[in-house]
Amino acid sequence: MASRTKIYIVMELVTGGELFDKIASRGRLKEDDARKYFQQLINAVDYCHSRGVYHRDLKPENLLLDANGTLKVSDFGLSALSQQVREDGLLHTTCGTPNYVAPEVINNKGYDGAKADLWSCGVILFVLMAGYLPFEDSNLMALYKKIYKADFSCPSWFSTSAKKLIKKILDPNPNSVCSSVHWYHVTLFHRSLYLRD
């Protein structure tokens, strides 16, 4: 909506708070609850990618919950559009929250926005199920080294299928990661996490 001198933006009122607050107050989530939020996140990110939008700052603080507990992606301030992809087919702006950023973003050689978002989704899934970050260090360079090597381990309470999924998503080699978030949703999550170990 707009007038001659003003632009009005109408947004949905989301009253459930941040997903971060839910994790901070309750700790780790049950695998079924984590799966529910991850599925909603993957669907939202897949939709954004299908429209040529790469978020580039996915984290629990930017995931809101409505009154029914439905996840909403927010804060597109660092997002990139497909028109920003350079001639080499990659994005080149280093941005994002350090603990959630993909190794190829840190590398400063260009990155696929979809794969970078997928990495962040993998970190979020880990946080939902563990209650803490997979990559943590007070020294930024040491943190980046851990991310670049994918130096993390899954807690013992993760199911075998959840461990496999997270390790597949948090592969530090972007060439071995599928850029389609929908593929991870359908191929791995539906098929494997419904199985009990």
Q: What are phi and psi of 116, to 5 degrees?
A: -65, -40
Q: Cα angle at 176 between 173 and 182, to 5 degrees?
A: 115
- The angle subtended at Cα 36 by Cα 30 and Cα 41, nearest 5°, is 125
- Helix, strand counts (H, E) of the chain: 8, 4
Contact of 77 with 136, CB cutoff 8 Å: no
* Distance separating alpha carbons of residues 7 and 1, to the nearest angstrom: 6
Tokens representing 41 are 């996140």
Given 46, 57, 112, 117, which residue is catalytic? 57
Residue 197 annotated in active site: no
Q: Residue 179: which of 38, 46, 44 has the closest Cα?
A: 46
* Active-site annotation, residues: 57
